[in-house]
Structure 1
Amino acid sequence: MGLRLNDRYQLNTMLARGGMGEVWDAHDERMDRPVVVKLLRLPDARAKSDRNDRTEPERRFLDEVRATAALKHDHVIIVHDSGEHVLHGHRMLFLVLERADEGDLAKAFAEPGRLPWYDVASWARQVAEALAAAHEAGIVHRDVKPANVLRTGSGVAKLADFGIAKLLDDLARAGRSVPGVPIGTPSYMSPEQARGEEDVDHRSDLYSLGCLLYEGLSGRLPFRGAPLEVLRQHKEEQPPSLAALVPDLPPMVADLVMSLLARQPGHRPQSAAEVALVLGTAIAAGTAPRRNPGRVERPGRAAPRPDTGPGPNPGPVPTRGPGPGSPPVHPAGPARVPLMLTAGPARARLMLTAGPARVRPMLTAAPSPDAEPRSCVGRPGGPRTVQ
Structure 2
Amino acid sequence: MPVFNATDPLSLDDLLTAEEIAVRGSVRSMLAEHVQPHVAQWFEAGGAPHPRELFAEFGKLGLLGMHLEGYTLPGMSSVDYGLACAELEACDSGIRSMVSVQGSLAMYAIWRWASEEEKQRWLPGMGTGELVGCFGLTEPDHGSDPGSMRTTARRDGSDWVLDGSKMWISNGTFADVAVIWAQTDEGIRGFAVPTQTPGFSAREIKHKMSLRVSSTAELVLEGVRVPASAMFPEVRGLKGPLSCLTEARYGIVWGSMGAARSSFETALDYARTRQQFGRPIGGFQLTQAKLADMALELHKGLLLALHLGRRKDAVGLTTEQVSFGKLNNVREALDICRTSRTILAANGISLEYPVIRHMNNLESVLTYEGTVEMHQLILGQALTGENAFS
Short-chain TM bin = under 0.3
More helix by share: 2
Higher relative contact order (CA 8 A, sep 6+): 2
TM (norm. structure 2) is 0.26
